Amino acid sequence: MPILEKEISEYPMGLLDQAEDSGERQWYAVYTKPRQEKALARQLVGYEIPFYLPLVPKENYIRGKRVESFLPLFGGYVFLFGTDDERVQALTTNRIVQVLPVNDQEQIRYDLRQLRDVIESGTPVTLEKRLEPGDRVRVEKGPLKGVEGTIVARRGERRLIVAVNYLQQGVSVQIDDFMVTRV
Expressed as residue numbers, the domain containing 61 is 10-102
Each residue's pLDDT tens digit, 47-60: 999 999 999 988 87
Average pLDDT of the segment spanning 143-149: 87
Both 26 and 75 in one domain: the answer is yes
Q: With respect to residue 68, please indicate whether it lies within any of the assigned structural domains.
A: yes
113's enclosing H/E stretch is helix 105-120
The pLDDT assigned to 55 comes to: 94
Both 19 and 69 in one domain: the answer is yes
Each residue's pLDDT tens digit, 90-111: 999 999 999 999 999 999 999 9
The pLDDT assigned to 128 comes to: 73
Q: With respect to residue 115, please indicate whether it lies within any of the assigned structural domains.
A: no
Both 91 and 156 in one domain: the answer is no
The pLDDT assigned to 115 comes to: 95
The pLDDT assigned to 1 comes to: 45
The pLDDT assigned to 140 comes to: 83
CATH of the domain at 130: 2.30.30.30
